[in-house]
Structure 1
Amino acid sequence: MYGNILLSTDGSDVARNGVKHGIGLAKALNAKVTVITITEPMPVYYGNGYASGWTPSREEFDHFDAAGKERARRVLDEARAMAEQIGIPAELLHVPNAHPATAIIETAKSRGCDLIVMGSHGRRGLTKLFLGSQTSEVLALQL
């Protein structure tokens, strides 16, 4: 049925449930598993018109990147432990400085994944409009 499953996580409780479900599914189907986490680039405001923006220093960029790598390491270590507990190997991937939905789709295509498993916070209405949903965006871009 599915031979290569991509599991996306940001470390949240909802994403953790998606990873757990995906690992169980992979075990049942004897499928390959890749777990991906993405860290977005540092937001920079350059300003417009008369207002000057904010440009971070090299030190601030470095600190931001280091914190993102550390968070990704913790998220992926947790996913590795979940896979080991169930008894399957998992490839772990951190994609830094990327838009999550785009990175998920590009990774799924480049690695030949035939299923993407990810959690959704289930936001609706204005909350969904303002906060967005990477799951919704992945679905929309895949169609």
Structure 2
Amino acid sequence: MFKHILIPTDGSILSEKAVDTALRLAAEMHARATLLTVTEPFQFSGSWPEIGADEYAAYAERRGRERLASGTALARTLGVSCGPLVVEHEAPYAAIIDAAGSLGCDLIAMASHGRRGLSAVVLGSETQKVLTHSRIPVLVLR
């Protein structure tokens, strides 16, 4: 049914559970997958005077790859063709939707952190934003 699944992760425990489930789904469907994590752009802050934009970019890329390592290993174990992707963007939901479009993904499978009440209103939800703006199906995992 699905041929290419985009699996975004922020490295949280809930997100890693969703990665596991989505990769197992990809294996069952004989689909390929792309694991995605989004890093924040460099912003100069008085608390980080000793680090520049290039050093930050290298650090963010390294941390992003580390965040994707366990999923990449699981994909290999399951026999799923899977590539890791680290993207820098100020709006994670937009990066997820952009990546899905540019890679030709036909499904986005991601976790929902399940915030409720005031915290959901104040913090918002990247998953909710993806659901609202995506033109392709989104599978929400808990």
TM-score, normalising length: structure 2: 0.84
Assess if the C-alpha contact under 8 Å between 2:5 and 2:106 holds in 1. yes
| Consecutive unaligned residues in structure 1, runs of 5 or more | 46-53
For 1:44 and 1:123, locate their aligned partners in 2 and report how far apart those are by CA, in whole Å: 30
Q: Select which of 71, 78, 82 maps to 2:63.
A: 71
Which digits, 9 at most, give the CA deviation of each residue in 1:63-82, with x for residues without a partner? 43333222101112111111
1:113 is matched with 105
- 1:11 alignment partner, SS class: coil
Match of 2:17 in 1: 17
The aligned residue for residue 61 of structure 1 is 53
Greater radius of gyration (CA): 1
Name the structure 2 match of 1:27.
Answer: 27
Between the aligned residues of both structures, percent identity stands at 38
Match of residue 103 from structure 1: 95
Measured on the aligned residues, the alpha-carbon RMSD in Å equals 2.1
Distance in 1 separating the partners of 2:51 and 2:13? 31
User: Which of 120-129 and 56-65 deviates more?
Assistant: 56-65
**Where does residue 6 of structure 2 map in the other structure?**
6
What amino acid sits opposite 1:85 in the alignment?
T
Deviation at 1:55, TM superposition (A): 9.7
* d(CA) in 2 for partners of 1:104, 1:126: 25
Aligned ranges for residues 130-141 of structure 1 at < 5 Å?
Answer: 130-141=122-133
CA contact under 8 A between 2:89 and 2:95: conserved in structure 1? no
**Kept after mapping to 2: 8 A contact 1:42/1:97:** no
2:118 aligned partner: 126
Matches of 1:129 and 1:73 in 2, distance apart?
31
Structure 2, unpaired ranges of 5+: 136-142
Corresponding position of 1:36: 36
Q: How far 1:58 moved relative to its partner?
A: 7.4
Greater share of strand: 2
2:42 counterpart SS class = coil
**1:60, 1:120 → 2: CA distance?**
33
| 8 Å contact kept, 1:35–1:92 | yes
Aligned residues between the structures = 135
Deviating beyond 2 angstroms after TM superposition, the runs of 4 or more aligned structure 1 residues are 42-45, 54-67
The one-letter code matched in structure 2 to 1:82 is: L
